[in-house]
Amino acid sequence: MVSINYSAREVCCKIVYYGPGLSGKTTNLQYIHSKVPQDTRGKLISLATEADRTLYFDFLPINIGTINGFQAKFQLYTVPGQVYYNATRKLVLRGVDGVVFVADSQPDKMDENIESLANLMENLEEYGYRPEDLPIVIQLNKRDLPNVLPVDQLNAQLNPHNLPTFEASATVGNGVFDTLKLIIRLVLEKAKATSAPKTTASAQPTVTAVPRPQPAPYPEPAPAPQPVAAGVAAAAPRPIAPAPAADTAYRPYPGSGTQPVKQQAPAAQAPSPQPPAPAQPVAAEVAPSPVAPPTQPAEIKTDEQPVAAESNAQSPQMAPSLRRRGEPKKRGFFKRLFGIK
């Protein structure tokens, strides 16, 4: 029911305008929006179709000011009236505090009124509401039209439980505010009736610290300025223990930046004047096509050693920070990628 936020000092109620299609629910909200002072209401949001028929809901927040230290806020919703939108209509009713049923007073709309009212009761019951306990006001709309049914006849068919009723004409505003004022009053009275006596336990809830399994203070400055460490080593010290894979997977900068170095190195070393004898021809072979065929696994393995050893000593093209410094031997990127042994 009514939402009470003791931190923000506000009471918030949800009021839904229900009724058959084209009965004037959205027009009610549009009139309220146009007449209420700007500092009292928020933006009117309509989730509507191209033809301005409500598709999901209209939403208008209203803040009537501070009462007993609490901001009294009301959220006005409409539902789509067409029969086939019952799924979305039901969603809007979730957590409702009061309902305005907008009935169309025209004779040919009576069946739709009855069907919509039955649908309202059915949806409320599915949510666990007892319709007799929920504040409901019936608005008999379109009273300004010429051939409308008399109020007695509408009441006889739509209001057997003597719910409060207002005659209205939403396009010109007659009865719109009366309806709203009454439903707000009924909602607040209901909230008062259902609120329980104050208890000391609720007045002073103590906050216990929830223990965290890991501290995980993510380092504020980006880890990018650590270029010396190689890819794997750079990612390892991150304090986010649970899912380092997700982290490195989405972070663009730390991870694989140093991997291509291994591919550059053979090309750079190919013309080297003093390579170790067995490695030189292999490096030359590998350089033009890094994805070596699996028929030469033994040869490819050997090219790592001289490259790693020489890249520190004589590789003028490479930045010093990218050189490998005494790391254990690693298999090449493409070998790991394609599962070459």
User: Residues 156 to 175: which contact another protein by CB under 8 A?
Assistant: 173-174
Closer to another protein by Cβ: residue 217 or 316? 217
User: Tokens for 269?
Assistant: 């070393």
Q: Of 4 and 145, which CB lies nearer to another protein in the complex structure?
A: 4
Nearest-angstrom CA–CA distance, 37 and 324:
70
Strands 136-141 and 98-104: parallel
Stretch that binds another protein, among 22-30, 111-119, 241-249, 310-318 (CB under 8 A): 241-249
| Local structure of residue 14 (DSSP, 8 states) | E
Strand, helix or coil at 126? helix
Burial pattern 77-93, b for ≥16 Cβ within 10 A else e, equals bbbbbbeebeebbbebb
Nearer to another protein by Cβ, of 130 and 329: the residue is 130
CA distance 211 to 239: 17
Can residue 185 be called a binding residue for another protein (CB under 8 A)? yes
Q: Is 128 in the site for another protein (CB under 8 A)?
A: yes
Give the residue, chosen from 21, 22, 48, 61, that forms a contact with another protein under the rule CB under 8 A.
61
Residues 313-332, one symbol each (x = binds another protein by CB under 8 A, - = not), give --------------------
Residue 184 found at the interface with another protein (CB under 8 A):
yes
Give the residue with the Cβ less far from another protein, 7 or 147: 7
Which position among 49, 65, 281, 327 is part of the footprint of another protein (CB under 8 A)? Answer: 65
DSSP reduced 3-state for 113: helix
Residue 237 binds another protein (CB under 8 A): no
Instruction: Determine which residue in the list 146, 160, 197, 316 makes contact with another protein, applying CB under 8 A.
Output: 197
129 binds another protein (CB under 8 A): yes
E strands, the chain, where? 3-5, 10-18, 45-48, 54-67, 70-78, 98-104, 136-141, 165-167
Query: CA–CA separation, 37 vs 75, rounded Å?
Result: 16
Name which position in 38, 50, 152, 210 contacts another protein (CB under 8 A): 210
Residue 72 binds another protein, judged by CB under 8 A: yes
Tell me how far, at minimum, the Cβ of 116 lies from another protein, in Å: 20
Nearest partner of 41 among 19, 17, 58, judged by Cα:
58
